[in-house]
Chain A
Amino acid sequence: MFAWLIEHILSNLPSWLWPVVAGAGATTYFLARIVDTFPTIKPYAFFVKPVSFAVMLVGVFMYGGAGITAIYQAQINEMQAKMAAAQTASTDANGNLHTKIVTKTKVIHDVQVVIKERIKEVEKKIDADCKLDPEATKILNDAAKNPLGATK
């Protein structure tokens, strides 16, 4: 949560802020000598140099981070655009495949309906001429059974 908050805040800061911070730090660092010339603020001169140096370092560090983040962000955006296009293509391909499946399944079912009708037409003739031996049925059923067990 804390990391997310920090990341959210940092990502919303303008990119020009960090060079400004670094520049301000560097400027203060080099102008620290001037502080020595003013007797009233001279005691603070001791802090000005390290603090301005630290500020400059933070600014430079964050500027480096912001720069590379911008490069990564551009790459991420490019990749996300490609992925969105791929997902659309994938959905379209599935839609086309669905249409193809429905058409082909209907053709196969229609053939089966015709075959059933043809069997009915000659049913009496077939059954009159030929009687099915129970052994033949058993062989047929054994052959139809899945050797790997029933389908789950």
Chain B
Amino acid sequence: MKRLLILAVIAMLTACASNKTVVSMQFPGTPDELKTACPDLATVDPTTQKLSDALEVVTANYNQYYLCKDKVDNWLDWYNTQQKIYNSVK
């Protein structure tokens, strides 16, 4: 009787060890606007002698910088938010 009980407990514990489960979390998506790389800066036409042409290119590059800065800021925002959400799942 005693042996029978010991055997029954061992059998139950063996069943515990044979279980395996997989639960995985999907990688969070990103807005499409963040998926494009920042372009290179524009250059001035080497043949031009007009200062206004150079000014236009320089100001366009400044503008490009702010667009790119905004993209980096948004990536940081995305990362921090998604990290908070991910860490909340425990």
Bind each other? yes
Q: Bin chain A's interface residue count.
A: 35 or more
- Given A64, A79, A90, A104, which contacts B29 in the complex, CB threshold below 8 Å? A90
Report if A108 contacts B (CB, 8 A).
Answer: yes
Contact with A along B47-90 (1 / 0, CB 8 A): 01111111111111101001100100010011001100110110
- For the complex, would chain A's binding face be called helix, strand, loop or mixed by DSSP majority? helix
Q: With A61-B12, A89-B85, A94-B30 known to touch, is A108 a contact of B49 (CB < 8 Å)? A: no
Residues in A neighbouring B30, C-beta threshold 8 A: 94
Residues A138 and B31 in contact in the complex (CB < 8 Å), given A68-B19, A144-B61: no
| Interface size counted on chain B using CB atoms at 8 A | 59
* Contact across chains for A105 and B39 when beta carbons are under 8 A apart: no
Which B positions have Cβ atoms within 8 angstroms of A? Answer: 4, 7-8, 11-16, 18-19, 21, 23, 25-26, 28-34, 37-46, 48-61, 63, 66-67, 70, 74, 77-78, 81-82, 85-86, 88-89
Contact in complex: A132, B49 (CB < 8 Å): yes
Whether B85 lies near A82 (C-beta < 8 A) is no
Known: A68-B15, A69-B19, A90-B82. 4 other contacts (CB 8 A): A89-B88, A90-B28, A97-B77, A104-B70
Smallest CB-CB A-B distances: 10 pairs:
A64-B12, A65-B15, A64-B15, A144-B41, A141-B43, A61-B11, A112-B63, A98-B31, A123-B52, A90-B28
Chain A positions 131-152 with a Cβ under 8 Å from a chain B Cβ: 131-134, 136-138, 140-141, 144-146, 150-152
> Which of B15, B45, B51, B74 contacts A61 (CB under 8 A)?
B15
Find out whether the CB atom of A101 lies under 8 angstroms from the CB atom of B63: no
A residues near B13, Cβ cutoff 8 Å: 64
